[in-house]
Amino acid sequence: MNSSKPAGAKGLVAEVVRKQYFWGIIAIVLLLAVNVFKDPSYLAISISPTDGNLVGNLIDILRAAAPVLMIAVGMCLVVATGGIDLSVGSIMVVAGAVSMELLAGSNAPDSLGAAFIAIVVALAISGLLGAVNGVLVSVVGLQPFISTLVVMLAGRGLAKVITGGQNTSAVNEPFRWVANGYAIGIPVVFVLAVLITIAVGMLVRKSALGLMIEAIGMDAKAARLAGLNRRGLLMTAYISSGLLAGVAGIFATASVMTVDVSRTGYQLELDAILAVVIGGTSLAGGKFNITGAAIGAILIATLDKTVVFLGVSSSATPAFKAIVIVALCLLQSERVRALFRQRRIQRPTGTAATKKETVSA
């Protein structure tokens, strides 16, 4: 009985290591260790004497992870269908532009109603853009790459039309609280992102929706023959991605109460795809892992903060991020890990053979 317990524990450890997002957690720990090596107080969290909220680098990372987390969860569902959504960054800026224009026009700095209307309208338009993606893919039959690329280009242009090509700012405390407020000392924006992620995860895993989305990603023809509504499922995935991108746009805009039509959401679709892949979702479709996508989003935020903290120049930042991502992908590769295991097994065998030859001589 004693021998079975270690075997069970060893099997559990092996199962955890096989999870792709496990290496994402390891990467987060290593990045934090690098920052601590430069500044031993990097992980220190203190309580602000003015308002009693938690402050520190870790809190900043959690706040920065919220928008990436939102678009990563939406991207996760789309990728599971065998598609891709390149428009999430543009939908973010559209949501930000709509909300800022409405708030600037209302001229009500303390109005909760104005903030509510701005959020609802921004999310409605984001969902509409997601529906456009869904129609182009499921009804028109265009490739997801082309369909979402069209909305990606049109979305940023739409944001410029909405704002007149200018960066728009507004003042509204309830709206600003969404990204800058605190709940029990923790940033509200991260709490909201986690709650939304949990809600989406429960919806797709506690119902048949997740299995149906995975089914059309595995084999669309077989799923259709099984009676699944492929068009409806694709529409659901793309609308969800659009809505979550809109939430991310509200988070990003509310943090500074300004929408930058050129920079808001810029290239965040690439971060979302990286977060999804790091979390173990296959780009070929057929499976998804929302927990892994969440860990991938936190990793991306940690990596971005590390780049700034280490003083890496802006020109070298893409190369630095690429090196970290490539190293992580190699760690995740089963083939690479199998090669290391094989070399580790062969080494003692070779040593034993050498000893045997020495004895016989």
Tokens of 250: 């509200």
Task: Report yes or no on 8 lying in a domain.
Answer: no
Query: pLDDT digit string (tens) for 111-163?
Result: 899 999 999 999 999 999 999 999 999 999 899 999 999 999 999 999 999 99
Is residue 40 situated within a structural domain? no
160 C-beta neighbours (distance < 10 Å), count = 16
Provide the b/e sequence for 74-95 (b: ≥16 CB within 10 Å): bbbbbbbbbbbbbbbbbbbbbb
Inside any domain, residue 331: no
Tell me whether residue 35 is in a domain.
no
Of the two residues 205 and 336, the one the predictor is more confident about is: 205
Lowest-pLDDT range of 96-105, 262-271, 318-327:
318-327
Query: What's the pTM?
Result: 0.86
Residue 245 lies in a domain: yes
Tokens for 74? 């939406």
330: left (phi over 0), alpha (psi -120 to 50) or beta: alpha
pLDDT at 357 over 90: no
361 in a structural domain? no
**3-state class (DSSP) for residue 186:** strand
User: Structurally, how many domains does the chain consist of?
Assistant: 1
Has residue 57 been placed in a domain? no
Answer whether residue 330 is part of any domain: no
The DSSP string of 264-288 is: TTTTHHHHHHHHHHHTT--TTSS--
Element housing 166 (H / E): none
Report in angstroms the alpha-carbon separations of 19 from 96, 165, 331: 36, 45, 11
Domain housing 141: 67-294
